Amino acid sequence: MVTARSRLKLERGLIHLSEERQQMMIRDYPQEERPRERMIKEGAESLSNQELLAILLRTGSHRESVFQLASRVLKAVGSIRRLTEVSVEELMQIKGIGQAKAVQIKAGVELGRRVGRKQRERFSIRSPEDAAEYLMAVLALDQQEKLYCLYLNTKNEVVHEKAVFIGSLNASIVHPREVFKEALKWSAASIIVSHNHPSGDPTPSQEDVQVTRRLTQAGEILGIECLDHLIIGDGRYVSMKEKGYI
């Protein structure tokens, strides 16, 4: 039977063990338990706030491990959310945080904030006009022909975009594998393919028709719909879907 006294001794022992572990330097940890190695193997989501901050800080001091320093920083600011509000100067008031470490923390926090903002600002495509507006800004002035793909989620929001091929479009050169490899990587529900005509005339060629049909057939097999193939010219575009090729 576990008494109140034995339970208290056990809790104190666990706290002491945790404190001893924090005092250990990174080099004292088994390779597989180090934050960077765990992040590579298990993903960033498996790490605690303290471990993620320790990676940003990189080092502690000869008296204090980076884990102890990360723990003190989090305690000093009050919460992980407060890291977005404190300044470099305020961070430098924490013992062990110089200008370099303060800037590293703020840079990491700002990068995460921007990623979050971009995710909230995902562009939603409801029509060929929407897609053309989005793509003209990317392709209209390009002097080299480029196959550019948009990868969409189930809400028709752009989750990824990539120039898959640069050069004259040819059905024997443009392989569906390269287009759909990115779709699988990003778990896209559908794609929109586009390419530009540097001449400014978006009239589709026979090669454009062949590429469209090949990509559409590949998408049907994979269960990833090719919604459209847009040809971008000088202030004009042609939708292969509106032309009846998809």
Which pLDDT value is given to residue 222?
Answer: 93
Q: Which of 189, 206, 204 is nearest to 239 (CA)?
A: 204
pLDDT, tens digit, 9 for 90 and up, residues 186-216: 999 999 999 988 888 888 888 889 989 999 9
- CB 232 within 8 Å of CB 202: yes
CA-to-CA separations, 201 to 18, 169, 170, 235, in angstroms, rounded: 68, 15, 18, 9
pLDDT, tens digit, 9 for 90 and up, residues 124-175: 889 999 999 888 877 866 777 888 999 999 999 998 888 888 876 665 467 8
pLDDT, tens digit, 9 for 90 and up, residues 51-67: 888 888 888 777 788 88
- Average pLDDT on 77-94 reads 86
The first and second tokens of residue 64, run together, are: 């204090």
**CA–CA distance, 204 with 202 (Å, rounded to integer):** 6
**CA–CA distance, 67 with 57 (Å, rounded to integer):** 9
Which pLDDT value is given to residue 10?
Answer: 45
